[in-house]
Amino acid sequence: MKRKAILLAALILSGCSREFVEEHVYQVDYTTTNRFANNLAPLPGQFTKDTVAFDQLMNSFSGQVKRYWGDDDALVASKRQYVKYTDGYQSRAHVDFERGVVIVETVAKTEPTAHLRQAIATTLLTPEDPAGVDLYSDSDIKLDGKPFLYGQILDQEGKPIEWSWRANRFAEYLVNAKVHTRNERYHKVWYVEIPMVADHADKRGYKYASIVRDAARRYGIAEDLIYAIIKTESSFNPYAVSHANAYGLMQVVPNTAGADVFKLVKNKPGKPSPEYLFDPARNIDIGTAYFYLLRNRYLKDVSNPTSLHYSMISAYNGGTGGVLKTFNADRKRAMNDLNRLQPNQVYWALTNKHPKAEARRYLQKVTAFQKEFQQGKL
């Protein structure tokens, strides 16, 4: 049932020589088509928002949330915010990966501390596998396997939480010693705030070291770039979803990047499902394979390796078309103009003149995170 629920949410809510290896091992088709005329007019980018589908989801799901939490206190999961409702929408867990804090709350009118205690224990034991958690309902979570937050939260004794007895004991401690309340317009909220350890992002990132290493080798993409993209896109949140219909660690959009990788790299029909993309290994594989396509198909005419690197990062967020429009409205001339510039000039243009402000900031963030990784930090 939970797999079906995830798929349903997807429907509503709608990444020898080198040439020999590329063409024969990965079966990448470099033939020019009308869709990719002269390799200068590819898709607008993997982040193509499906506004209608997203609005349908929000109208359905948020209606239930607002019934209990009101218009001003409703939260929905996003790229760096895990939000899961349980207990008939009366309780919720909110993991803020940017602030490094876990907030567990309830609006239950009877025995609120009992509801809160159960919600805390459930949050602490939520598993690593996103396939078992439906973020768009109040369905129960199957508490099986190592917890997602293991090592990122420590109990009152400074111990990581893996087993139910420790989670329940910590929940009891929090309810007795750390409960806060606040009054919203139509309801009272009982909540606790649990700080995450200082290096919580690193702990999440290290989980995927072997997967990143394998993907880097498979597609010839630098490990530090993969890590930087994951940190920028999701802060290593495998439950990440976004309004752009993107899923998982590298925020892959099924209809664009996912479909392209299936067709051009995997030689498979169709597109990856959200369930497929919530699997960390598959998500990182698809996201890295999309960088492979950016380098070897969509942007292969960029002559300088460093300029190509900057262009790939920018295109992952704003599309190849956005990269080219930065340099010239005529896409064929744009490639020539780009190739006449030094890499530092290409970087300046993409971070100052790109048509989309988000893409300008994106390149700055990713390159900064790359430097952190090169210095031994995720």
pLDDT (0 to 100) of residue 69: 93
Of all residues in the chain, the percent with pLDDT exceeding 70 is: 84
What is the C-alpha separation between 211 and 131, in angstroms, rounded? Answer: 18
Q: From its phi and psi, is residue 101 left (phi > 0), alpha (psi between -120 and 50) or beta?
A: beta
Residue 277 has pLDDT above 70, yes or no: yes
Q: Looking at the whole model, is its pTM more than 0.85?
A: no
Strand order through the sheet with 180-183: 81-86, 91-96, 101-106, 188-195, 180-183
Q: Which residue has the tokens 């409703």?
A: 74
Burial class from Cβ neighbours inside 10 Å (0-12, 13-18, 19+) for residue 51 reads exposed
Indicate which residues carry an active-site annotation: 233
Average pLDDT of the segment spanning 15-30? 34
Query: Which range, of 82-96, 128-142, 219-233, 326-340, averages the lowest pLDDT?
Result: 128-142
pLDDT (0 to 100) of residue 317: 94
pLDDT (0 to 100) of residue 109: 95
Q: Give the CATH fold of the 2-51+202-374 domain.
A: Lysozyme (1.10.530)
Nearest Cα residue to 241 out of 12, 93, 79: 79
What is the residue extent of each domain of the chain? 2-51+202-374, 75-197
Residue 375 has pLDDT above 70, yes or no: yes
Q: What is the pLDDT of residues 252-271, one digit of tens each?
A: 999 999 999 999 999 999 99
Q: Which tokens sit at 188?
A: 């009272």
Q: What mean pLDDT value characterizes the chain?
A: 86
Q: Which residue has the tokens 């799901």?
A: 61
Q: What are the phi and psi torsion angles at 313 (to 5°)?
A: -60, -45
Average pLDDT of the segment spanning 135-161? 93
